[in-house]
């Protein structure tokens, strides 16, 4: 298969002229594109290391990368509520119900971190009302009575907001429906519920109102959250960039003989220094990486071992998810494993080019899969190509076979092809991307170079 662009892996950092480097580095980041020369990427890499790893502090500089990031403004949440209310009104629906989680966070600033789920439901209800001919969102928070004071401390934006409590000897779902009694409830005016809502709550609402139709929210509602705003993309971009910078900073301090657990601790330290919360990481050396989620035997790094780090966390509730498979300067990697690395990178690049507005999600997965199958790895790319990312690390839509979702502007996904040969090697490369207003895919890590540069420069 012929490529529109070609990666020349023979270019070394030493033979780049100073004039060429300076001219390239001063160009606008928006002009960076896939398959820039590895020489430029290597130079960027070393400049970043000078900034992020120095004797004055193990992770010096990481904290500044996202220091200007801001949480989603309350005015944006009000706009989301207004958009939802308009959809509910146009669809003839009486209300939308969510419990603490990603959707309640999106529409009401109520996350699982601020209100943990239990058997006692707390519900966010958004219903459309007409005021002077305009559709506005009415917000109702249904809370256990003994938790009402705490519920009122939640920073829930809303023009028209009320709190309704239910006592321990009351049915919370009857109380919830009674709170909507001013609305026309019935089979012709359904109540939409969030697709991730626990079944016992859906069942409770249905039993409390036998004549009420309770149904999962349609695509018009779910697409509000899957199509990211500029503010959301800014948080996703910064979180994913700094996660890559953390991996590069950790690589600079690794050595042959270090153990997986030591690197895991280093990654967590780096992410914490960068301001990332809800941190997680997977560190696998050599053949351990042939199991995509690891074997966990705390392997010591050998000279012939590639290193796989899959890491992420949240920045103001928005997720990062990055995987790099790389080597050290002292490594001696089998040539066939280096070949696999470049084949996986090519699969990632081809999928990135195929992911455009209007494309089918399964078709993007197929592009990467067909390339790897054609290179002789059939059966060794064992998982989907990618998942949506935002307020959840894994959310709809998904890049996998068997789906028929159509990619839209504002969608954000992971792109993570991998080859896993048990007992030998595992290689995965993952960068998240979004679809811009022109309908093209843009890596969220583009501002720091985009994809991994080579096995030596992640």
Question: Domain extents for the chain?
Answer: 13-65+228-448, 74-226
Q: Which CATH number applies to 74-226?
A: 3.40.350.10
Q: Between helices 172-179 and 199-208, what is the axis angle to 10°?
A: 60
Please answer whether residues 286 and 425 qualify as being in contact, where contact means their C-beta atoms are separated by less than 8 angstroms: yes
Instruction: Look at 21 and 208; give whichever has higher pLDDT.
Output: 208
- What is the structure's pLDDT at 295? 76
Alpha-carbon span 79 to 103, nearest angstrom: 14
Kindly report the backbone phi and psi dihedral angles of residue 423, in degrees, each rounded to the nearest multiple of 5, phi listed first: 80, -5
- What is the structure's pLDDT at 162? 95
pLDDT in tens, 317-340: 999 999 999 999 999 999 999 999
| Helix (H), strand (E) at residue 300 | none
Q: Tell me what percent of the residues of the chain surpass a pLDDT of 90.
A: 81
Token pair, residue 356, equals: 């455009």
Token pair, residue 383, equals: 């998982």
Please state which of the ranges 129-133, 321-325, 403-407 shows the lowest mean pLDDT. Answer: 129-133
- What is the structure's pLDDT at 185? 64
Respond yes or no on whether the N-terminal peptide bond of residue 397 is cis (omega within 30° of 0). yes
Mean pLDDT of 73-102: 96
- What is the structure's pLDDT at 211? 85
Mean pLDDT of 245-254: 98
Cβ density class 277-299: b for 16+ within 10 Å, e for less = eebbbbbbbbbbbbebebeeeeb
- What is the structure's pLDDT at 432? 98
Q: Which CATH number applies to 13-65+228-448?
A: 3.90.230.10
Please answer whether residues 107 and 77 qualify as being in contact, where contact means their C-beta atoms are separated by less than 8 angstroms: yes
**Domain 13-65+228-448 identical in fold to domain 74-226:** no
- What is the structure's pLDDT at 37? 41
Mean pLDDT of 362-372: 98
Residue 69 has pLDDT above 50, yes or no: yes
Mean pLDDT of 64-88: 97
- What is the structure's pLDDT at 56? 44
Residue 164 has pLDDT above 80, yes or no: yes
Question: CA separation (Å) from 38 to 13, 170, 322, 403, 441?
Answer: 8, 66, 20, 35, 21
Residue 4 has pLDDT above 90, yes or no: no
Mean pLDDT, the chain, as a whole number? 89
How many C-beta atoms surround the C-beta of residue 219 within 10 A?
A: 10
Read off the pTM. 0.86
- What is the structure's pLDDT at 30? 36
Residue 246 has pLDDT above 80, yes or no: yes
Please state which of the ranges 6-10, 113-117, 191-195, 198-202 shows the lowest mean pLDDT. Answer: 6-10
Alpha-carbon span 141 to 98, nearest angstrom: 10
- What is the structure's pLDDT at 133? 86
Please answer whether residues 427 and 418 qualify as being in contact, where contact means their C-beta atoms are separated by less than 8 angstroms: yes
Alpha-carbon span 351 to 334, nearest angstrom: 26
Instruction: Look at 211 and 21; give whichever has higher pLDDT.
Output: 211
| Helix (H), strand (E) at residue 265 | helix 260-273
- What is the structure's pLDDT at 60? 85
Alpha-carbon span 36 to 33, nearest angstrom: 6
Mean pLDDT of 428-439: 98
- What is the structure's pLDDT at 112? 93
How sure is the predictor about 1, in pLDDT bands with cuts at 50, 70 and 90?
Answer: very low
How sure is the predictor about 186, in pLDDT bands with cuts at 50, 70 and 90?
Answer: low
How sure is the predictor about 187, in pLDDT bands with cuts at 50, 70 and 90?
Answer: low
Please answer whether residues 297 and 283 qualify as being in contact, where contact means their C-beta atoms are separated by less than 8 angstroms: no
């Amino acid at each position: 298969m012929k490529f529109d662009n070609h990666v020349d892996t023979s270019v070394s950092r030493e033979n780049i002229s100073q004039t060429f480097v300076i001219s390239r580095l001063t160009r606008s980041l928006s002009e960076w594109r896939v398959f820039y020369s590895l020489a430029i990427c290597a130079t960027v890499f070393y400049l970043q290391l000078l900034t992020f790893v120095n004797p004055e502090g193990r992770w010096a500089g990481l904290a500044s990368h996202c220091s200007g990031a801001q949480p989603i403004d309350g005015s944006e949440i009000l706009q989301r509520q207004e958009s939802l209310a308009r959809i509910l009104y146009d669809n003839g629906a009486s209300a939308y119900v969510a419990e603490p989680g990603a959707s309640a966070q999106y529409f009401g600033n109520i996350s699982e971190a601020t209100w943990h789920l239990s058997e006692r439901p707390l519900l966010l209800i958004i219903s459309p009302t007409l005021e002077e001919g305009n559709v506005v969102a009415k917000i109702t928070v249904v809370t256990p009575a003994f938790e009402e004071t705490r519920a009122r401390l939640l920073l829930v934006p809303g023009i028209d907001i009320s709190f309704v409590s239910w006592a321990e000897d009351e049915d919370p779902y009857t109380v919830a429906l009674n709170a909507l009694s001013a609305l026309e409830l019935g089979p012709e005016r359904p109540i939409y519920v969030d697709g991730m809502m626990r079944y016992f709550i859906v069942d409770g609402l249905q039993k409390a109102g036998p004549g009420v139709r309770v149904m999962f929210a349609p695509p018009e509602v779910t697409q509000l959250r899957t199509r990211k705003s500029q503010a959301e993309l800014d948080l996703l971009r910064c979180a994913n960039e700094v996660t890559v910078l953390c991996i590069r900073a950790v690589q600079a301090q690794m050595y042959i003989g270090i153990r997986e657990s030591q690197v895991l601790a280093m990654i967590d330290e780096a992410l914490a220094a960068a301001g990332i919360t809800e941190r997680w990481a997977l560190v696998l050396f050599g053949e351990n990486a042939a199991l995509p989620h690891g074997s966990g035997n705390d392997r010591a790094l050998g000279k012939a071992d590639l290193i796989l780090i899959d890491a992420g966390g949240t920045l103001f509730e928005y997720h990062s998810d990055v995987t790099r498979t790389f080597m050290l300067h002292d490594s001696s990697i089998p040539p066939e494993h280096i070949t696999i690395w470049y084949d996986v990178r090519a699969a990632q690049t081809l999928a990135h080019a195929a992911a455009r507005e209007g494309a089918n999600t399964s078709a993007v997965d197929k592009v990467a899969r067909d390339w790897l199958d054609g290179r002789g790895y059939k059966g060794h790319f064992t998982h989907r190509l990618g998942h949506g990312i935002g307020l959840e690390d894994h959310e709809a839509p998904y890049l996998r076979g068997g789906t028929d979702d159509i990619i839209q502007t504002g969608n954000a996904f992971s792109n993570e092809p991998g080859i896993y040969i048990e007992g030998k090697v595992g290689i995965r490369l993952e960068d998240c991307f979004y679809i811009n207003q022109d309908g093209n895919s843009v890596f969220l890590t583009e501002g720091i170079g985009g994809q991994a540069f080579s096995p030596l420069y992640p």
